[in-house]
Amino acid sequence: MEQCDVVGIGVGPSNLSLAALARPVAGLRARFLEARPRFQWHPGMMLPGARLQVSYLKDLVTLIDPTSRYSYLNFLVHHGRIYRSLIANQVGCSRQEFEQYYQWVADQLPGIHWGQRVKSVQVADAGFEVVCEEGGRFAAPALVLGSGRVPALPDFAAVFEGRDVLHSNDLLHVRPAVRGRRVVVVGAGQSGAEVVDHLLADDRELPASLLWISSRVGFLPLDDSPFSNEWFAPPYVDHFQTLPPERRTELLRHQRLASDGISETLLRTIYRRLYELDIAGGRLRHHLLPNRRVTDLRSHGSSHGSGLAVTLREGDTGKMERSVADVVIFCTGYRSPFPDYMEPLRERLVNEHGDFRIRPDYSLEWDGPDHLRIYVQNWAESTHGIADPNLSLGAWRSAQVINSLTDQEIYRLDGFSTTVTWARQPELDQDRDRGAVPPPPGDHIPVHGPFPLDLAPVEGR
C-alpha cells in the first residue's frame, strides 16, 4: 500500500488541472489514478472540426497561475506552433488540439498511474484506502473525486443499445452505418448539433432521412454574452452558494443555455448545409422537430420492412407522434451518479434527508474525522453553480482544493472584480461599520463598478 497525502480518482481535465497546480507544491505527495491507459478527452465525440467552446485561456492553469509551465500557450511555444496558431486566428481552438495539449501536460506529470480503475474506497487508520481493479493500493488522508459524469441514456433506449441505438458519447466507437438509412438524432444541445453536422458533412455518407428532435422550443444558441459569462467567474460561485436550494434550482433552469446551448457558428453551418442540400435536389429528407420529447422506442416490423418505432410527445398540445427509424442517436447529456467505488462510504456522507452537502472548498460533509477530507470535482453544479461541469473554473476549483488540503494560501483565490453585482455583500457592511468604507451620501443607492461596493440598505424594505 503506497502512502501519500492525496489521491485523485480519475484524470480528465479536472484532476489533470489539480495535478498540474499541485506539482510545484513542495512536499505534497499527490497520486492520481486513471482507468484509461493514457489521457483521452471524450474520445467518442472527438469529431473532426469540433471546437473548444471556451477561451483557450481556460486551460489547466492560466487563470490561476499564468506563469505555470503547464499552460496552453507554453504548449504552443514548445511545439513551435505559436506564430502559426496566432496567424490562423482561429475562432477558438480545436478540441483535438486541446486534447494534445492535455496529453502533453499529462506526460510531464509524475504521480499519474494509468490503467488503474478504482473499485473501492474504505476508511482505515492511515486514512482512506483506495483499491484498484488492477491491484494498485493507495492510502491518503484526502481524496479528490474526479471521475466525471456518465452518459444519460433513457431506460427505454438502454435495452436496444448497440450498433443502431447509441448515446453520442459512443459515436466514434460504434460508428453506426447511416448511409441511405433513416436516422433520428434526439437532443439539441451542442452534442446533438455536432452529431447532425457530422451526419451531413460527407455527400457520400448522407442518410436517406434525418429527424432532429429538440425538447426545447427551438434549436437554441449558446448564450455566450458578456454579462451571462459572469456566471462562470469565481464571485458568482461565492454568491450562488449562499442561496436556498430551491432558488439555486430555479436559477440553473434559467441559465441553462449559457452552458448547453449550441454555438452560433455551428447553427449557421447546419442551416446553410440543409439549404444547400435542398437546392441541390433534396437528396436528404429532413425534419427538425422542436418542443418534442421522445417517450418510447420499440422494434417495429411491417410489410415495408423493419426498424425502430420512435414515439414523441409534442409539448404544447400533448399530441403523440410516431416515426420509424433505422438508427437513433441519443444526445441526451450526462448525469452524475454516486460513484460505485464510494458505495462503502455512502451512509457516512448523506444527511438525514439523504442529501450530500458540499462545502465551499468542494469538500463533502461526512461523519468521519475532520482531517480526512473528500473533495469533488465536477459534482457541485447544484451548490456551486452552472459553471461547475464546464472548463471555466477548473483551475480555480483545483486551486481551492490545494489551498484547503494544505491549509495554506498556495494560490490566491480572491480579489476578482466583477461587473455585475450579484447581491449585497455583507462584508462591506461590516467594513462600513468599522469605518473602512464611507457611508453613502444621502439614502440613494450609488452606481458601482469594479470598486468596493457601497450599497446601503434601504430603510423600510
Please state the closest distance from residue 54 (CB atom) to ligand FAD, in A.
Answer: 4
Output 195 or 453, the one with its CB closest to ligand FAD: 195
Output 107 or 367, the one with its CB closest to ligand FAD: 107
| Residue of 6, 7, 8, 14 interacting with ligand FAD (CB under 6 A) | 14
| Residue of 255, 363, 378, 406 interacting with ligand FAD (CB under 6 A) | 378
# residues near ligand FAD by CB under 6 A: 30
Distance CA(191)–CA(261), nearest Å, equals 10
Output 122 or 430, the one with its CB closest to ligand FAD: 122
Q: What angle, rounded to 10 degrees, do the helices at 394-406 and 13-22 form? A: 50
Q: Three cell numbers at 109?
A: 506529470
**Which among 245-253, 279-287, 367-375, 385-393 is the span making contact with ligand FAD, rule CB under 6 A?**
385-393
Strand partners, 128: 123, 140
Output 52 or 270, the one with its CB closest to ligand FAD: 52
Q: Does 198 bind ligand FAD (CB under 6 A)?
A: no
Question: Per-residue b/e over 172-194, b at no fewer than 16 CB within 10 Å?
Answer: eebebebeebbbbbbbbbbbbbb
Write the interaction track for ligand FAD spanning residues 309-348; mark x where CB under 6 A is met and - where it is not: --------------------------------x-------
| Residue of 148, 187, 235, 261 interacting with ligand FAD (CB under 6 A) | 148
Cα separations (Å) of 342 from 121, 129, 384, 407? 6, 11, 22, 25
Nearest residue to ligand FAD by CB is 12
Please state the closest distance from residue 47 (CB atom) to ligand FAD, in A.
Answer: 8
Please state the closest distance from residue 36 (CB atom) to ligand FAD, in A.
Answer: 5
- Find out whether 434 and 242 touch, Cβ atoms under 8 Å: no
| Listed residue (277, 261, 265, 270) closest to 187, CA to CA | 261
Helices (DSSP H) in 44-189: which residue ranges? 72-78, 82-88, 95-108, 155-158, 171-174
Write the interaction track for ligand FAD spanning residues 18-57; mark x where CB under 6 A is met and - where it is not: ---------------xxxx----xx--x------xxx---
**Which among 4-12, 233-241, 270-278, 428-436 is the span making contact with ligand FAD, rule CB under 6 A?**
4-12
Residue with cell 420512435: 310
| Listed residue (352, 380, 353) closest to 144, CA to CA | 380
| Residue of 11, 284, 294, 405 interacting with ligand FAD (CB under 6 A) | 11
**Which among 11-19, 67-75, 214-222, 283-291 is the span making contact with ligand FAD, rule CB under 6 A?**
11-19
Q: Does 256 bind ligand FAD (CB under 6 A)?
A: no
C-alpha triplet 179, 181, 185: angle, nearest 5°: 100
Cα separations (Å) of 150 from 9, 164, 334, 339? 15, 20, 5, 10
Residue with cell 455536432: 194
E strand or H helix that includes residue 455: none
| Residue of 6, 9, 185, 358 interacting with ligand FAD (CB under 6 A) | 9
Return the DSSP state at 95: H
Q: Does 404 bind ligand FAD (CB under 6 A)?
A: no
Q: Does 187 bind ligand FAD (CB under 6 A)?
A: no
Output 277 or 401, the one with its CB closest to ligand FAD: 401
| Residue of 8, 13, 187, 189 interacting with ligand FAD (CB under 6 A) | 13
Return the DSSP state at 80: T
Phi-psi region of 10 (alpha: psi -120 to 50; beta: other; left: phi over 0): left
Output 219 or 232, the one with its CB closest to ligand FAD: 232
Output 277 or 376, the one with its CB closest to ligand FAD: 376
Distance CA(185)–CA(162), nearest Å, equals 15
Q: Map the footprint of ligand FAD across residues 84-143, applying CB under 6 A.
A: 117-118
Please state the closest distance from residue 129 (CB atom) to ligand FAD, in A.
Answer: 15
**Positive/negative CA dihedral, 381, 423, 396, 262:** positive
**Which among 10-18, 22-30, 244-252, 438-446 is the span making contact with ligand FAD, rule CB under 6 A?**
10-18
Output 325 or 391, the one with its CB closest to ligand FAD: 391
Please state the closest distance from residue 23 (CB atom) to ligand FAD, in A.
Answer: 17
| Cα torsion through 159, 160, 161, 163, rounded to 10 | 160
Strand partners, 289: 213
Q: Does 255 bind ligand FAD (CB under 6 A)?
A: no
- Find out whether 287 and 212 touch, Cβ atoms under 8 Å: yes
- Enumerate binding residues for ligand FAD (CB under 6 A): 9-15, 33-36, 41-42, 45, 52-54, 117-118, 146-148, 191, 341, 377-378, 389-392
